[in-house]
Amino acid sequence: MLILALIISCILAIVSIGRYKRVFNPFIIEIYFTVLFLIVPQLFIIKEVSEKDNFYSDLVIIVYVSSIFIGTMINFRYFSLKQIENVKVINNLNIVLYVLLVLPLVPFLLAAGFSAHGFRQFYETVVFTKFASFYELSKLVLYFIIFFKLIKRQKFTLGFFILFPLVFVYGSRFVILEAIIYLCVFLEQFKNLGVKRIVFTCFIGAALIGVYTSLQFTTDTMRDILASYFDIYKNQSLVINKMMNGEMEYYHGELYLSSYLKFIPRILWEGKPKQYGFALLNYAILPEQAAAGYMPSFGLGVLFADFGFISIITTGIMIGFIRNFFYRLLQASRNNISFFLYIFPLAFITNIFLIFYLGLDYLLRKSKKSIVSIDPGTDNLIESK
């Protein structure tokens, strides 16, 4: 049935490309993780699929993917947005913030070493320290710096080729994948690259990730490590089966609501609970491993554990609609704010950043207008009092 899930996903992806005339359209942006990290590894890397044990898990994938597609079909009237104009000032602040966020991480990076393997060790170490929030926030700020500059200049400058390779330092293949996808969205929306060129760019990106992965691990252990890395499907099936068999109670939204605690740095709140978000499942299902710091992902099982198929369907439709809505805004506006809203739709922490950027930009524009005005009698610039 997992093969059926892959076939349905591919058919809907092809339909979405024909509909939007873009590869990185709202549907594909939302399902790529499910396909690349759940379906494909299980079918082609792990190669262990039991129809009996994974029926409900496969059904959840099919329902989720289909719900997203339905959500993208819902259209509301959209509008254009004014761009953030004071990019230079905002990016200077971002650079300062990035340095402050990275400084506590430098000792971990130096201890791991400057190599692909070292970057992986750095990632695996820092995400389990009290500086994990600094790691996540610095990554987000780096995205802002890169793409604010890229959209303003509309070309690849020296700054881009200095900053973009920093995503490899984060040691996570998912970070690299994210950055490449955001870059492809820019190329499609602002440089009008066609489907064939974007697909070619994707192949280059996939090759880079493949080479990077091979450098992170030895060839002898690569398959075993990848198998353990792609254990999401197995864990997802485990959770869903326990829920369907009545072995576990539904969390009724607790997993989702408590996940926002991750944005509070532990360095600011030493007593922050260890059990929140998907970690609640880890402690419930794998208590000994969770206590030792092993926190595997449960894929769509986390979403399912809150309200079952209800949360799968409603969330799928909602995120499909939201992504499509912001895509329409991007089409109408084609500027920096609509770009960030599209690639970061309704993410709590990114919304805080965007609100701050908009507020600062508004104050800067207002201050410029109050300092300089035009004398209607002489058409001369005069200082406003």
Distance CA(122)–CA(79), nearest Å, equals: 43
pLDDT at 378 over 60: no
Residue 276 has pLDDT above 80, yes or no: no
Predicted pLDDT at 145:
96
Q: Please state the rounded mean pLDDT for residues 67-88.
A: 90
Average pLDDT over residues 286-299: 72
The answer, yes or no, to whether residue 52 has pLDDT greater than 80, is no
CA–CA separation, 127 and 133 (whole Å): 8
Please state the pTM of the whole predicted model. Answer: 0.84
CA distance 51 to 58: 9
Residue of higher predicted confidence among 191 and 280? 191
What pLDDT score does 183 carry?
94
- pLDDT per residue as tens digits for the range 15-43: 999 999 999 999 999 999 899 888 887 88
DSSP assigned state of 58: H
Share of the chain above pLDDT 90, in %: 44
**Quick one: which of 258, 285, 252, 286 has its CA closest to 274?**
258
Report the alpha-carbon distance of residue 150 to residue 41 in Å, rounded: 33
pLDDT at 321 over 60: yes
What DSSP character marks residue 155? Answer: S
Q: What burial class does residue 79 get, using C-beta atoms within 10 Å of its C-beta: 0-12 exposed, 13-18 middle, 19+ buried? A: exposed
Per 3-state DSSP, the chain is made up of helix, strand and coil in percentages (nearest 5) of 75, 0, 25
**Residues 47, 261: Cα–Cα separation, whole Å:** 36
The pLDDT of residue 383 is above 50:
no
Which residues on neighbouring strands pair with residue 383, listed in sequence order?
A: 372
Crossing angle for the helix pair 51-72 and 26-34, nearest 10 degrees? 160
Which of the 8 DSSP states describes residue 374?
Answer: E
What is the predicted pLDDT for the residue at 224? 58
Residue type at 382 in one-letter notation: I
- 209 and 176 in contact (C-beta within 8 Å)? yes
Instruction: Write the pLDDT tens digit of every residue in 95-152.
Output: 999 999 999 999 999 999 888 889 988 998 898 788 888 998 999 999 999 999 999 9
How far, CA to CA in Å, does 264 sit from each of 72, 82, 114, 134, 343? 32, 31, 29, 10, 23
pLDDT of 226: 57
Q: Where are the alpha helices (DSSP H) in 35-81?
A: 40-41, 51-72
135-144, 216-225, 305-314: range with lowest mean pLDDT: 216-225
| 62-78 average pLDDT score | 92
